Amino acid sequence: MSDFEFKNLEKRRPLWKDMAYFAGFAFFVYGVTHVGLNSGAYSEIASFKFGQLKASVLEVTSDISLLAPAEVVVEKKLEKVSNKSKPKTFRQKNLKPRNEAAQVFKDMKIYPSDNRLYIPRINKNVPLITVPKHQNWNELETNIQSGLQEGVVVHPISHSPGNFGNFFLTGHSSYYAWDEGRFKDVFALLHEVKIGDSIEVYWEGKKYVYKIKAQEVVPPTAVEVLNQPKDKFLITLMTCTPVGTNKNRLILTGELKSQE
């Protein structure tokens, strides 16, 4: 028998490399699974970002100063032709009775028949769902989760718009892909809403406009966000953050700006 030749043995890979490979693979699997389960929310975020990029590009390219002089002349001629071809309508000043009728229709306020929330920044127009109160926390949570399948939930502790207090709303930023609800990612873009933005609430036939005053991220245990002030007309919007987790809560707070 020949002596065993140790020099022919391959050197074992260091343990830290095995651990690094394992951690990298585990992170990859988690990332794919996480994105897959929350594909609706991430798709909405990507679409919103793409829309912003597209709008910024169009804004630059549509600047009239970038057009050549000849193109400007052609554009003006086309505008004149289109104006001539337009039929006379009751908006013309020489048709005074009809013009007055047009103004009446213009000033007429038509609101949704149901209670709704409209957030212009992220183009969300969704129903507001009320749920029954319950002394038992688990039962209350069940009621809220059921309501979230139908839209944005008005928390039972809320004071109605137009009354002193806090009109508290909550919605999903993401949820299980297999859930039956159509509003699993209704607040996926809530973090895009800026301080100073206006949001509209249509409640029992009236319109309330709120201005966002503050944005913060708090832990789930921060129950003070449910407080009801006695001297302010507030609105609070809450959702889970980061998207795809329930680690923290994103809180937007606004004050009543106008009422119609």
Q: Is residue 35 a part of any domain in this protein?
A: no
CATH of the domain at 221: 2.40.260.10
- pLDDT per residue as tens digits for the range 212-258: 999 999 999 999 999 999 999 999 999 999 998 889 999 999 999 99
The torsion angle over the Cα atoms of residues 188, 192, 196 and 199, rounded to 10 degrees, is -30
Per the CB < 8 A criterion, the answer to whether 243 and 188 are in contact is yes
Rounded to 5°, the CA angle 21-27-30 comes to 140
Q: Is residue 134 a part of any domain in this protein?
A: yes
Residues 85 and 157 in one domain: no
Residues 120 and 224 in one domain: yes
Report the pLDDT value the prediction gives residue 105, as an integer from 0 to 100. 52
Q: Is residue 90 a part of any domain in this protein?
A: yes
Pair of tokens at residue 153: 């939930």
**Domain that includes residue 172, residue range:** 116-259
Rounded to 5°, the CA angle 122-125-131 comes to 120
Residues 71 and 142 in one domain: no
Distance, in Å, from the CA atom of 159 to the CA atom of 184, rounded to the nearest integer, reads: 25
Distance, in Å, from the CA atom of 85 to the CA atom of 82, rounded to the nearest integer, reads: 5
24: nearest Cα among 13, 36, 32: 32
- pLDDT per residue as tens digits for the range 92-145: 555 455 556 556 555 556 777 899 999 999 999 999 999 998 888 889 899 999
Residues 166 and 249 in one domain: yes
Q: What percent of the chain has pLDDT over 90?
A: 47
Indicate the pTM of the whole model: 0.69
